[in-house]
Structure 1
Amino acid sequence: MNTRKTTPQAFLKTLSILHLALLAGPLLAAIFFYLNTEVNINGASNEIFIYVFPVIGLAGIFASKFLYQQFLKPLKQHELLQTKLAGLQTASLIQYAVVEGPALLNIVWFGQTGNLLYLTIGAVLLIYLFILRPTKTKVETDLELKGAHKRQFDKLDESLP
């Protein structure tokens, strides 16, 4: 049994590292494929993936936002801040993964075809994923921390009860 208590600062650091790790995979793939792929500006217009992959990218953005909100709803009523933070971490990881998947898919497909459209979609998804990075303010806002929970979370170096 783990008796070590979590601090808000440790929570933010852990979530930031997880976020960065999920961001790094597609980013490194994009750089690798861009440097090693012959770029094709005029992609085949009859290729069905020109329509499918942008839709998958948009679906990833909307699905990530929807799932994140669905995971957060029940957390707001919990009495323990530590439970709220654990749930937020799960919701955030799911949100990041749902955006990372379509980004990686588009980037890999760029590597296969050389069509810049797929790299552009992947880059937009990576920018969106970067914007989702965890911050103290975002955690407070998303969990609607007030009163005692906000004061606990503001004490970054103190263990949570």
Structure 2
Amino acid sequence: MTATSPRKIIKTHSIIHFGMLAGPLLAGIFFYLNTEVNANGSQEDIFIYIFPLIALVAIFTSKVVYRTFLKPLKQKEHLRDKLAGLQSASLIQYALIEGPAFLNIIWFGQTGNLLYLTIGGVLLIYLFILRPTKTKIENDLELKGEHKRQFNRFDEAIS
């Protein structure tokens, strides 16, 4: 990782997050505008039970995986290593939410059942809540002492 400032790291992280959020959001809007809504849904649709379960598993798994990746980062000696690891952990967490969101949204496009669009929308709201902020990064990495001072010098390069 080249020398960069906390501001640039957060900006890059935010752009990646926005990109991962925008794809399913735009797909959801597209399908909503171009799909005939089926209010009743099909009683024979087995996915009506599977897709909500996948969404719940995705939320739980994303939290567990994120925490698992963060644990060793807290012991790293250099702030830049902590931030690089956090970005990797976050990307995995975002992908674990984005995939099921896309799945539900695409299935809405196939069936017209609003339940799938709603599940996809809830996953997107959760993904939005996960957006990277300065405070969230400080708290997640439990920055203290010199690392916190370095991170708070927002426009200075991290050594």
What is the TM-score with the length of structure 2 in the denominator?
Answer: 0.98
May I ask how many residue pairs the two structures share in their alignment? 159
Aligned mates of 2:57, 2:101 — CA distance in 1: 11
Regions of 4+ moved over 6 Å:
none
For 1:117, which of 115, 118, 126 is the aligned residue? 115
SS at match of 2:91: helix
Aligned mates of 1:89, 1:63 — CA distance in 2: 17
How far did 1:46 drift?
2.5
How far did 1:157 drift?
0.3
Aligned mates of 1:41, 1:137 — CA distance in 2: 42
CA deviation profile, 1:86-111 (whole Å, cap 9, x unmatched)? 00000000000000000000000000
Q: Aligned partner of 2:48: which letter?
A: I
How far did 1:23 drift?
0.1
Aligned mates of 1:17, 1:24 — CA distance in 2: 10
For 1:84, which of 59, 82, 85 is the aligned residue? 82
Counterpart of 2:126 in structure 1 is: 128
Q: Aligned partner of 1:16: which letter?
A: S
Q: Unpaired runs of 5+ in structure 2?
A: none
Identity score, percent: 70
Alignment of structure 1 residues 1-161 onto 2, 5 Å: 4-161=2-159
What is the TM-score with the length of structure 1 in the denominator?
Answer: 0.97
- Once superposed, what is the RMSD of the aligned Cα atoms? 0.8
